[in-house]
Each structure stands twice: as C-alpha cells, then as structure tokens.
Structure 1
Amino acid sequence: MQTTKRNLNKAFALLALIQATLIFTIVMIGIPLPEIGVEFGIHEADLLLASTAYGLSFSGLLLFGGRLTDRFGGRTLLTIGLCLFGLASVGAALSFHFSAMVLMRFLQGAGAAMTAPAAVAILRHLYPEPEDFMRAMATWGGVSVLGGGVGFLASGVVTTWISWRWMFAVPVGVALMGLIAVAGFLPKAAQSRPSVQSGLDLIGAVLATLGIALGSYGLIASGEFAWSSPGVYGPLLSGVALLSLFFVVERQVKSPLLPPGFVREPYRIVGLMGILLASASMGLVTFLLSLFLQIQQHWTPLETAGAFVPYTFTLLLMNRAASGIVSRFGPLKVTCFGLLIGAAGLAWLAGIHSQIEYLSGLLPGIVILTTGTSMMFAGAAVLSTMHVSPHQAGLAGGVMNTSMELGPTLGLASLMAVAALAPDVVRGYSLAFGTAAGVYLVAAGLAWFLTRDKLLQTDTVAADKVQ
C-alpha cells in the first residue's frame, strides 16, 4: 500500500510525539524530586541518581543506538526501543524501593537511546526528497525542547494535585501508541532499510558509552560536590580517558561507530554546536529560574510551573513557524540569527537581582531567549542531518541527540562553576547568564568563520544539497 499524504502526516506526528516524550521523560521528575526523597527516605545528595540515571544511559548509548539502527533498520529498533522504554516506565511507576526506581530510569534511557535514532532514520525514508526532509527536520528540531517545556509544566501540576508516579503514565501511553502504529500504518511507510552488513564496533560502543556516561556523571555531580571531590574528578578523568581511547580506536577499526570526518563537515559542526548550546541554555534557564522563584521568591511548585507557561507557549508558536522560516531564509542563517537573538535574551536575564519583578524583569528575557533557541533548534536540526545518506540516517540521529543530551550536562555544570565565583547566589545567577550570552556571541562568530562563504549566498542552496 502506498504512503498517502494523510498517513505521512500521521506518521510524522506520531514520531514527533515520541521524540518529545523522550525529552519530557528527562525533566518530568525535576520538580517532585524533594517529594521523592521524602517518600523513599533518602538524602538529598542521593537524589542525583534518580535525576540522572535516565539521561546517563540515554546520552551514553545513543551512538550505539544509531549504529544498530543503520545495521538492522529503523522499524526494528523503534519496536525494541519502545518496548524497553514502556516496560521500564511501568516499572519506575510501580517501584517501592529507591534502587529499583534508579534501575528502571536507567533502562528507560537505554530504550530511548534506541528509539531516538530509529525515529530519525524512519523520517529519512518517509521524506526521500531533500526539500521535504529539510522541512520535516526544521519542525523536528523544536519538538524536543517543546517536550522538555511541557514536562516541566506537567511535573508541577501533577506533583501538586496527584502523585509524581502518575508522570510515568505519559511515556507508557506514548510507547503503546508507537507500538500500535508500528503494527499499523507506520511500517507501510518505512519498509526499506539501509543495507549495512558490516561489524558493529562493540569495543568502540563500550568506550563511547562508558566515556560519555562517566564524564556526564562527573559534570552533574559537580553541582552537588566540590570539583576536588573524588566523586567528581574520578568520573570526569575516567570519562575523558575512555573517550580519548575511543577516538584512537575509531581510527583503527574497519567499521567505526563514528566514522572519521563525519562531524567535521562545516554545516554539521555549526548544527551540532547550535543544538548543544540551545539545549544548554534551556536547561540553564529552567534550572536557575526554578531555584530562584522557589527559594529566593518563595513561590510554590505550581506557581513556578505557571511562570514557564509563556516559555512553553513561545516554543509552541515558534515550532509551528519553524518550517516556513527555515524554507524562507535557509537553515544556516536561521541558526546564526538564533544565536544572536538568544544572546540578547541571556543578556537580559543577566540583569536578575533579588528584588526583580517577574513580568518586567524576567518574562521578556525568557521570551527573547526562547525565540532565539527555537530558531537555533530548527536550523541546527537541518544542518546536523545534511549530506547524510539513508544508510547513515541512524548515525546522524544518534549524533544529533547526543549533542542535545550533552548540552544541559556540560553547559549547566560549566556555568554553575562560573556562578560559584560570585559573592552570593543571585549574583552567581547573573554571572552565569552573562557568561552564557558571551558564549553565544562567540559561537555566532565561529559559525560565521566556518561558513562565511555560504552566509553571503542565498543559503537555500544549502538545503538543496541535502541527500
């Protein structure tokens, strides 16, 4: 049966919902963490495991998930990933011991690491024409951050009125919907698969997974412990060593997990940099402003969640406009302008102080930053998947999502280290926002340097080169 336009739209909507849910699942227990600690009777520092278990396995296994997708096909990996993701979500909701919950969160992340690149690979087959794929990826770029915004809002509402355990109903329901679609209309639209029959580079997979996971854990732990603590520098140094060995191994094997030169293409460098910085700034603004409103301003969790309604609404509006904006101006210009607008929003938020008003002092910066980062996500998602043939679509999805996952970890840890240099907490927030604005400006300059010849052209030519 041919793929009709209606089925194509249904398939895209379903895959976008799955991608949004994968990011939703990262942030959905952020606000209820204190309540989780009370229920399980654990110390605040131990909550770090509950908060990070999902993200560590998700980010660490994405490259391998991409490789598996290119080896066995998007439909197969999507099915396996959704089964593991859904079952682990049920297990997390029903966990009555803290260790069991951490394990289930880890397995959720493993399922997500197979699901995310598989979804991108299926999209590549659903939209074989370069221009159609560009429009799809422009919308796809904003879907992830929208999932994070909705997750943040939902966690405040559910925690206040029901129970944090009900948050897991969302990933369970979406996993079931995805599996039903795989058994129904989705396989008709994604029958073909890349014929990659080479090895899987298991050594590279182990090194990359452990390196990313350990390094990420060390960065996350720096928010709870001093950099001189063994719990911080131990994982960090181990992660750096393993990743260094990974890049050495990749030059020796016949079928590398990450082929040399794959991420050195100028467009892909700008795209991955844009995704990393956009996700980092979104993680920064939700984390710092949540702390500021609840601790400094004494807002309730529900009031804090409500403060991010304009944030989520802006994401929704920009996501709807993303495809048209990228088609009109080209992904490169949209990414670069997004960097400049995002820098302006961060600079505004750098004016934060203990007596600041939400409506006049914080809201404009939130809206400006969200507008810029939405443009970055839209343009960068296209740039990250340009010049990618169908047999590497899973790899491209894995690399793109790895950048998205590392953004909040690397960015937040680095900026919180900067914030610690200030004499008081709120001034530290200001310093972190100001530093992030400077990084955005430097990144815009680097993007211009790498692609200055193309920026002087129409830039829509770039979109036509997607293969």
Structure 2
Amino acid sequence: MKNSKAILWIVLIGQFMVVLDATIVTVSLPSISTSLGFESQGQLQWVINVYVLLFGGFLLFGGRAGDLIGRQRMFVIGLALFGVSSLVNGLAQNPETLIVGRAVQGLGGALTSPAVLSIIIVTFEGVADRAKALGVFSAVTASGSASGMLAGGVLTEWLSWRAIFLVNVPIAAIAVIGALRVIPNSRHRVAGERNRIDLPGAVTITAGLLLLVYGIVNAADWGWGSAKVWWIIAGAAALIALFFVIEARSRHPLVRLGIFRHRALAVTNTTMFLMRAGMFVMMFFPTLYLADVKGFSPIQNGLAYVPWPVAMFVASRFAQRIIAKAGPKATLLPGLVILAGGLFALSFSDANSSYAAGVLPGMLLTAIGAGLAWAAMFLTASVGVQPGESGLASGLINTSQQLGSAIGVAIISSIAAAYTSDLVGRGAGANEALVKGFDRGYLIGTFVMLGAAAVALFGLRRTDGRHAPAPRREEVPVTNLEPALGD
C-alpha cells in the first residue's frame, strides 16, 4: 500500500504514547501525592488502577468499533481523548480531577491500541511484510513500558510530575494530524447490509471486564480471601456469560463466536495471556528491588531498564528473519523458553546482589525472549482471520495482554507479599524477606511461562501464520459514515 511506512510510523507514535503512560506514572507517584494532597496510599493507587480498569474494559468494544465505523476514525478519537485528558491531568489541582483524567486516558488508550494493530494488519497484507511491521510494533509496545520508568524519572526529577502528562499533548496532536492526512479510514462493509454495533453485547462485555479488572486490582489490598473480591469476580463472570448468550443470538454480534474456531487465534490468545501473566512482574519487582533495597534514585532506576528495550528490539529484528523463513512457531517457542530462563535467573537474587549480577542477566534474557515471542504471537493471531475482523482480533489479543498482566501481577504480588510477611514473622530482616518474596514471585512466573510454551508447543502447527487468508468481504475507505448504533 502507498504510504505504508508513513502509516506504520504514525500509528506507532500513538501506540508508544499509550503504553508509555501505563508505567511513566509509577515513579512519579510520591511527587503527585505530595503535590495534590492524596489522603491515603489506597487513593493514590487509583491513579494507576483507574487507567488499567478503563483500558482493559473497553478494548473489545474499541476493536470492533474500528472495524465497523472506521479504523482511522477510532484511532483519531482515541488519540484526541488521550491528548485532552493528558492536558487535564497536567493541570490538575486535586486528586479527583487527576483520577477522572486518568480514567479518560484509559478509555482513549482502549480505542487507540486495537486500531493501531488493526491498521497494521490491513495495511501490510503479505506475511513477510506484516511480520516486519509487527516486529517493530512489538518492540515499540514492549520498549514503551520499560521506557516509561526512565522517562518518568527524568521528567519528574528535572521538571515536574506534570510534565509526564503535558508531554503527551503535542505528541497526540502530531499523530492526529498525520493520521488525518495519511491513513485511509477503512472499515468492514457487507454488501446489502447496514453496519451496526451490538449495544447489548458491548454493554455486557465491557461491564464484565470492568468488574473483573476492578476485583483483581483491589484483591491485593482486600485480600484474595475477601468475600467482596469473590462477589465482584462472580458478578463479572455472570456478565461475561450473559455476553456469550447475547452473541449467540445476535444478528450483528460484537464478537462473532465462530472466530474462536480459528485454532491458531484461540491458542495464541491463551499463550499471550499466560506469557503476560508470568512476565509482567519484570516491570515491578526489579523497580522495587533497586529502589527499596539498593537505594536507586528514580533516574538511576529508569536507566537500569534501558538494556531491556534495546535487547528486545535487537531480538525482534532477528525474529523477523526467522519468521520469514520458518514461520512464527520457530521464534515463539524459543522465545518463551528464554523468557522462562530469564525469570528463573532472577529468582536467585538476594539482598547483597549487585545490579550487574542480580538483575541484568535475567533482564537481558527476558528481553531477548520477549523480542522473539511477541511479534510471532501477533502475527499468528491476525493471519487466521479475515480483514473485516482485524479490529476484533486486535481487541482480543490486546484484552488477553491486559487481563494476563492484571491477573498475573495481582496473584504473584500477593503470593510474594505473603511469603515476605511470613519470613519477617519468623525473624528475617526486612530487605532479606522482601527479596525472597520477589524470588518466589519470579519462580512462579517461570512455571507460568513454561505453561505458555507448552500451550504453544501442542496447540500450534509449524504452518500457522505462514499464509494470509484471501479476503472474503469488502474493505472500503469511508468518508461519510452511516449511523452505526443499535441492533
């Protein structure tokens, strides 16, 4: 497609900004708390939790809406929401304004992120070209999370915590202008039919995912034995079950249930969920270890993460060549095993370990493994579906990522904290107990990652993801949109 490189870099600007904001706030929380006068640690935690909540809850809706009303349009709407809410956050004078602004940021990210992947899928039709584009996309996505630590530390220490939000405003504006000029507003249209968004399905799945993520992010504070946690999770399960009943009967379903018959897509989503559940502790445990045990400053902590995106980018470039010759499975399986090895290496750290000996080797191994595995999963999940459902496939794989991250961090962090408390109760020193808790978390992540490798090993064929399907339905650029609501 003409301008394909320009399209790729425009959408990657938006993607990088969205994933960066998921972690850039972390190192700035103490400054935010002091400046705005947060009343408690629990209230402050909602600066992060509300973003995760809205982002995870609206991904499926955002993905399918892009298919039906236009991918460029959803990308632009999402970026506009993200940019405006970033401005509000940067100027916030009280905790309530910031929390509401972060919620809108999460919604903007949920509309933007599936559109990014969907635009890449419909722009790069050949498997080799798509593999290259998805390799860069994967590197940008993962490096954005790691880079957020550094950017947050630098901006907060040299300027102000407000800068971590205000910097998004010009970036979002540039991406919006570029998208309007370069990216066609393609959407899925079936001849003789009027596109509709399944509102009952959208409401039930969005409410169910919101409730599920809400229960998960609060489980660490309330305790996994809390009845409140399990009532919320049960309510989420009921809404999600109702969603599947609605989809089975709807003439215009938000999620066509037949898409799960694509074995490669179903297996890849399961693998992605497990991979993110096992590896996302890499974004938190080393940060806490370096800050609380080794005394690193925010900037030092951010710099400690620089090898991660660099190593991942190099590995993803190498993976593109292997995928082009041998298919995605040839990089996915080794990548997951290397990831497991990196987590296992981290589980041997102790309170006296240096950064070079205790953190860096495991960090590099996880980065290399992620670089090999990530693009392979996105390619396998996208090649098995028709272009008209690329947004849906994008929403599914992004939802698997978010739920895997949220559930994995919540469960593994709770287990690590419980083990730390037990060790302290038995007379261990605070730092020693904290690090041993982290080590146990890394070990659990190792087994989860090996589970992901087993799913991929037995669920995927060598040929999966090596050939794109011929499109069955018409993809058209749209300028005048028909009404798209109602069922």
How does the TM-score come out when normalised to structure 2?
0.88
- Tell me, yes or no, if the aligned pair for 1:130 and 1:466 is still in contact at 8 Å: no
- Tell me, yes or no, if the aligned pair for 1:354 and 1:426 is still in contact at 8 Å: yes
Superposed counterparts of 1:4-153, under 5 Å:
4=2, 7-42=3-38, 43-153=40-150
Residues 161-188 of structure 1: CA deviation (Å, up to 9, x unaligned): 11111111343222111211123223xx
Distance 2:103 2:214 in 1: 13
Q: CA deviation at 1:233?
A: 3.4
Q: CA deviation at 1:317?
A: 2.1
Residues 207-233 of structure 1: CA deviation (Å, up to 9, x unaligned): 111111121121111223322346533
Look up the equivalent residue of 2:10 and give its one-letter code: L
Q: CA deviation at 1:150?
A: 1.2
Match of 1:265 in 2: 262
- Tell me, yes or no, if the aligned pair for 1:271 and 1:379 is still in contact at 8 Å: no
Q: CA deviation at 1:344?
A: 0.7
Distance 1:254 1:19 in 2: 33
Distance 1:274 1:378 in 2: 13
Residues 395-415 of structure 1: CA deviation (Å, up to 9, x unaligned): 111112111222220111121
Look up the equivalent residue of 1:116 and give its one-letter code: S
| % identical aligned pairs | 30
**2:252 equivalent to 1:255:** yes
With 365-374 and 269-278 compared, the bigger mean Cα shift is at 269-278
Distance 2:301 2:196 in 1: 49
2:455 to 437, 446, 450: 446
1:210 to 199, 207, 230: 207
Q: CA deviation at 1:466?
A: 4.5
- Tell me, yes or no, if the aligned pair for 1:138 and 1:382 is still in contact at 8 Å: no
Match of 2:163 in 1: 166
Q: What secondary structure sits across from 1:194 in the alignment?
A: strand
Residues 193-214 of structure 1: CA deviation (Å, up to 9, x unaligned): 3215343111111111111112
Distance 2:456 2:273 in 1: 13
1:39–1:355 Cα change, 3 Å: same
Distance 1:18 1:322 in 2: 24
Look up the equivalent residue of 1:27 and give its one-letter code: T
Match of 1:434 in 2: 443
**2:224 equivalent to 1:227:** yes
1:321–1:177 Cα change, 3 Å: farther
Q: What secondary structure sits across from 2:336 in the alignment?
A: helix
Distance 2:185 2:410 in 1: 42
**2:303 equivalent to 1:306:** yes
Q: What secondary structure sits across from 2:410 in the alignment?
A: helix
How does the TM-score come out when normalised to structure 1?
0.92
Match of 2:314 in 1: 317
- Tell me, yes or no, if the aligned pair for 1:326 and 1:378 is still in contact at 8 Å: no
Q: What secondary structure sits across from 1:164 in the alignment?
A: coil
Superposed counterparts of 1:452-463, under 5 Å:
454-455=461-462, 459=463, 462-463=465-466
Q: CA deviation at 1:282?
A: 4.3
With 122-131 and 204-213 compared, the bigger mean Cα shift is at 122-131
1:361–1:394 Cα change, 3 Å: same
With 260-269 and 355-364 compared, the bigger mean Cα shift is at 260-269
Q: CA deviation at 1:430?
A: 0.9
- Tell me, yes or no, if the aligned pair for 1:219 and 1:409 is still in contact at 8 Å: yes
Look up the equivalent residue of 1:17 and give its one-letter code: I
2:188 to 170, 175, 194: 194
Distance 1:263 1:173 in 2: 40
Number of positions where the alignment pairs a residue of Structure 1 with one of Structure 2: 454
- Tell me, yes or no, if the aligned pair for 2:416 and 2:437 is still in contact at 8 Å: yes
Match of 1:288 in 2: 285
Match of 1:181 in 2: 178
- Tell me, yes or no, if the aligned pair for 2:19 and 2:144 is still in contact at 8 Å: yes
Look up the equivalent residue of 2:451 and give its one-letter code: V
- Structure 2 segments unaligned to the other structure (5+ residues): 424-432, 471-487
Distance 1:37 1:122 in 2: 38
Q: CA deviation at 1:191?
A: 4.8
1:325–1:224 Cα change, 3 Å: farther
1:210–1:61 Cα change, 3 Å: same
Match of 2:382 in 1: 385
Distance 1:237 1:450 in 2: 29
Look up the equivalent residue of 2:265 and give its one-letter code: R
